[in-house]
Amino acid sequence: MSYEITGHTVLTGLLGSPVAHSVSPMMHNESFKVLGLDYAYLAFDVDTQHLKTAVEGLKVLGVRGFNLTMPDKNLMADYCDRLSPAAEIIGAVNTVVNDNGILTGHTTDGIGYMEAAKDAGYDLTGKTMTLLGGGGAATAICVQAAIDGLKKIHVLNRKDTFFPRLQSLVDKINERTACQVLLHDLADERCLADCIGESHILTNATSVGMAPNTQDCLIRDPGILRPELIVSDVIYNPRETRLLRMAREKGCATFNGMYMLLYQGAAAFKLWTGQDMPISHIKQKYFS
């Protein structure tokens, strides 16, 4: 299939720092090629100091939209004209759509996680989740899971300076959705065991266990896991974290963060093009 940059090519891309390692350019450009769309996706190394100027420039250039990665996700929310309900609650965006100069910010990480759970065969509607972490990935998952109809979410985070902000975010989710979200101190081991005990799924949404610190794991006692529990990790490097290995050895079903990455991209792709990303092709080419 031919694929050329033309005078009509629509630009999309990624802003953040660093960005050179990202799989997003491959995933999007391959999808444009497969679907015959005259679009291109480029990665731009832009830190928070230069974000405003970069966004103004992209707006003038008429790009269709862009993704944001660290450290730009929070600041970008301030530069959007509109925010999706989920992005408004968490105050961060990873996808922007440009409609003739009107920038709408979305957060697709949570959508990516919920789609990954579906892909693994789990319908989490009405279920209870224990969610470890309170950073970008965790809050995106928490909001989307609440919107998508989970019954209860126990969020456990360390009591750092972010904890009070996390409590107000949890309060907002409780006000705006039917889901009951409870925030706990991650250091309380007894509480952690109780939360997991009443959950259908345990999700690590912290960076604990990510390469190169692959020996780290927030669950110290494998005895608090039981075979009926689904255990997932947002980390995809390594593919099997110490937590997932421990869970597998206890007989739990597990899934990692690979498909969360794929489906957050697919959600952005749909917002920009109106078309579905060719998922099985992209899975086979970049995620197998």
Q: Which residues form the interface with ligand NAD (CB under 6 A)?
A: 109, 112, 133-138, 157-158, 160, 186, 205-208, 210, 234-236, 257, 260-261, 264
Nearest distance from residue 32's CB to ligand NAD, in Å?
20
d(CA 166, CA 135): 9
* CB closest to ligand NAD, residue no: 135
d(CA 114, CA 246): 23
Using the minimum distance from each CB to ligand NAD, give the nearer residue, 32 or 236: 236
> Does 59 qualify as catalytic in the annotation?
no
Is 257 annotated in some ligand binding site?
A: yes
Q: Which of 33, 73, 118, 250 is catalytic?
A: 73
Give residues with Cβ within 8 angstroms of 35, minimum separation 6.
273, 275, 278
Is 138 annotated in some ligand binding site?
A: no
Amino acid of residue 121: G
194: its two tokens = 């109780």
The strand ranges marked E within 120-199 are 128-132, 152-157, 180-185
d(CA 71, CA 55): 14
Using the minimum distance from each CB to ligand NAD, give the nearer residue, 93 or 227: 93
Using the minimum distance from each CB to ligand NAD, give the nearer residue, 59 or 158: 158
Using the minimum distance from each CB to ligand NAD, give the nearer residue, 11 or 254: 254
d(CA 31, CA 248): 33
- Residue 259: Cβ within 10 Å count: 23
Is 137 annotated in some ligand binding site?
A: yes
Write out the binding residues: 22-24, 69, 94, 109, 133-137, 234, 236, 257, 264
Write out the binding residues for NADP(+): 133-137, 234, 257
Q: Which residues are catalytic?
A: 73
